[in-house]
């Protein structure tokens, strides 16, 4: 059973398009995250939700909008895609938002904007 | 703000030899430290973490890490490397003053040769 799953795994699209990435976790966790990993493998947090409430919102363009319909799901919608959005996007989850909580990562969604 | 440094882009070691992957950190308050591993085209997998207590932390796949407060380090170690340990390793830190995000280092590629 996959603990944290993401769809799609690969996404190739044209500049200017709008796309969504979905994330689901079956671990019973109440906190979920979106990370971006660039071409140099640098990993940075974008958003975090705790019990469907946004608790971290890093300096991310307004074109990125997360949505958490329930505690098990966190989706990421991206408007007007740009070349620089090409990256691997990882979803993660943890039980609680405490500093010591372990985050469990999904397999990633590889986004390529042409 | 917290930060993590992984001074080596790549570590090369022969199979059977001990390995060390270095990590130093900077954080307000007491640190919570994590190691993750990323295999090619996969998500991050949790290896181990330090919260408090014993400075030597044991984790998955025979890995361990030593917390050194005076040197602000959290080096990852394994007594005998396997070829299958070849992967990208990330150190990460969170502080314990208020809610803080998990900050990752730039990653160290470990290459274990047969």
- Tens of pLDDT, residue by residue over B78-94, are 999 999 999 999 999 98
Residue numbers in A near B99 (CB within 8 A): 55-56, 97, 99
Q: Which two tokens stand for residue B20?
A: 């060390």
Indicate yes or no: CB of B96 within 8 angstroms of CB of A40.
no
**What's the mean pLDDT in A55-83?**
92
Higher-pLDDT residue of B11, A60: B11
Identify the pLDDT of residue B97: 65
Identify the pLDDT of residue B99: 65
Indicate yes or no: CB of A41 within 8 angstroms of CB of B106.
yes
User: How many CA atoms, within 13 angstroms, populate the side-chain half-sphere of residue B39?
Assistant: 9
Above pLDDT 90, what percent of chain B? 78
Would you say residue B105 has pLDDT above 90?
Answer: yes
User: Mean pLDDT in chain B?
Assistant: 93
| E strands in chain A | 4-7, 10-13, 19-25, 31-37, 43-50, 53-57, 64-70, 73-78, 87-94, 104-105, 109-113
Residue A105 Cα, gap to closest chain B Cα (Å): 6
B12 in contact with A, Cβ within 8 Å? no
Residue among A43, A99, A108 whose CB faces B95 most closely: A99
Identify the pLDDT of residue B53: 86
A88 in contact with B, Cβ within 8 Å? no
Q: Which residue of chain B has the CA closest to A40?
A: B106
Indicate yes or no: CB of A45 within 8 angstroms of CB of B42.
no
pLDDT, tens only, B14-48: 999 999 999 999 988 888 999 999 998 888 999 99
Residue among B43, B100, B101 whose CB faces A106 most closely: B43
Indicate yes or no: CB of B99 within 8 angstroms of CB of A99.
yes
A10 in contact with B, Cβ within 8 Å? no
Q: Is A83 helix (H, G, I), strand (E, B) or coil?
A: helix
Residues in chain A: 114
User: Mean pLDDT in chain A?
Assistant: 92
Q: Which two tokens stand for residue B80?
A: 């005998």
Identify the pLDDT of residue B27: 87
pLDDT confidence tier of residue B65, bands split at 50, 70 and 90: very high
Q: Which two tokens stand for residue B69?
A: 């407060």
Q: Which residue of chain B has the CA closest to A50?
A: B99
- Report yes or no: B4 and B104 within 8 Å, Cβ to Cβ: yes
Identify the pLDDT of residue B98: 60
Identify the pLDDT of residue B10: 97
Identify the pLDDT of residue A34: 96
Residue numbers in B near A99 (CB within 8 A): 32, 94-96, 99-100
A106 in contact with B, Cβ within 8 Å? yes
């Amino acid at each position: 059973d996959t603990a944290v799953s993401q769809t799609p795994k690969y996404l190739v699209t044209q500049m200017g398009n709008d796309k969504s990435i979905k994330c689901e976790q079956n671990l019973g966790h109440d906190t979920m995250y979106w990370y971006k990993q660039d071409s140099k493998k640098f990993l940075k947090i974008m958003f975090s939700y705790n019990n469907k409430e946004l608790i971290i919102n890093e300096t991310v363009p307004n074109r990125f909008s997360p949505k958490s319909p329930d505690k098990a799901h966190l989706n990421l919608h991206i408007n007007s895609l740009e070349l620089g959005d090409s990256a691997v996007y990882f979803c993660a989850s943890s039980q609680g938002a405490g500093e010591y909580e372990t985050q469990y990562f999904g397999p990633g969604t590889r986004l390529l904007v042409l | 703000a917290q930060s993590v440094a992984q001074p080596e882009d790549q570590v090369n070691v022969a199979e059977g030899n001990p390995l060390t992957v270095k990590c130093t950190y900077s954080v307000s308050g007491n640190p919570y430290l994590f190691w993750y591993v990323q295999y090619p085209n996969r998500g991050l997998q949790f290896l181990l973490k330090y919260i408090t207590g014993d400075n030597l932390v044991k984790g998955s796949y025979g890995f361990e890490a030593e917390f050194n407060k005076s040197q602000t380090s959290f080096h990852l170690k394994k007594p005998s490397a396997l070829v299958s340990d070849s992967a990208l390793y990330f150190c990460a830190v969170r502080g314990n003053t208020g809610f803080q995000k998990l900050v990752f280092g730039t990653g160290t590629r470990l290459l274990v040769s047969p």
